[in-house]
Every structure is written in C-alpha cells, then in structure tokens.
C-alpha cells in the first residue's frame, strides 16, 4: 500500500547555494507518514494520547539530487514490518516535473509501552502489505 503526498519547496527552505538544505528533507519525510496515517484513519497525536508512543529508531537517507525553491515534488510512503516490533517507512522524494529520485529513505520506528519495552501496536497492522 503506497501513499504519495504532493508538496512545493518554499524559498526559506533553501540554503545560500539556492538548494534545499539537507535537514529540510527530514521535515518532508516526517510530515508524509503523518498524512499517510491520517489517510488510514490514524493520528500520531491521538495514538500518543491513548498511550501508543511511536519512536524513531534509525533514519537512513540517500541523497541523489537537489530540489530548488518553487520545485514541486512527491513524497512517497510505504510501510513494512521487518521484525515483530519494527515499523519501517520506506520513502522517496521525487521531482514532480520529470520524476527523478531526489532522495530515498528508510525511517525505522517502534512503539514503546509504559515501561519502555518495544512492541507493535495492532492499530498499525493494516498499514502493512501482505
């Protein structure tokens, strides 16, 4: 189940070289899974209020090209469950105009219970293909 979110680079996200600052891409990658979950009727904020705390374990980012101010792009999200307690968001950022890959990422998360032990919340099961 893949999800795609359209965004546009804002001027203030660019560095002195006129390209998107490397840290800004992480903002895009952070925002897309929130929208992905909302499209499945889930909210990070609501899950947190219910005691389901999802935490980042690792972020792997491979930068391929750069975006510039005004560029329109897509952030794709696909969820995977490589281990019993891990949720991975496999993500790409694609330039809207000619669709080259700007960035590929694996965002690895888990949920932790009240005593800090990792687990996989059943609410997330529908996100996983297969």
Per residue in 3-50, pLDDT tens? 999 999 999 999 999 999 999 999 999 999 999 999 999 999 999 999
| C-alpha pair distances (Å), 120 with each of 14, 42, 82, 83, 88 | 37, 15, 11, 9, 11
Domains and CATH numbers, the chain: 2-127 (3.10.129.10)
pLDDT of amino acid 1: 64
Contact predicate 80/19, CB 8 Å: no
| C-alpha pair distances (Å), 51 with each of 13, 45, 113, 124 | 34, 10, 7, 14
Structure tokens given for 112: 């932790």
Mean pLDDT of all residues in the chain? 94
Per the annotation, the verdict on 15 as an active-site residue is yes
Among 15, 62, 71, 126, which one carries the catalytic annotation?
A: 15
- Length of the chain, please? 130
pTM: 0.91
Structure tokens given for 127: 């996100």
């Amino acid at each position: 189940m893949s999800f795609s979110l359209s965004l546009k680079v804002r001027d203030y996200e660019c560095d002195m070289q006129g390209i998107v600052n490397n840290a800004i891409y992480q903002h895009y990658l952070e925002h897309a899974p929130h929208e992905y979950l909302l499209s499945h009727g889930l909210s990070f904020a609501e899950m947190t209020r219910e005691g389901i705390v999802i935490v980042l374990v690792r972020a792997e980012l491979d930068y391929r090209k750069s975006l510039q101010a005004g560029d329109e792009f897509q952030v794709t999200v696909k969820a995977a469950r490589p281990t019993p307690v891990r949720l991975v968001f496999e993500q790409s950022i694609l330039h809207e105009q000619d669709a080259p890959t700007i960035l590929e990422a694996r965002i690895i998360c888990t949920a932790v219970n009240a005593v800090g032990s990792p687990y996989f919340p059943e609410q997330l099961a529908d996100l996983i293909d297969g």
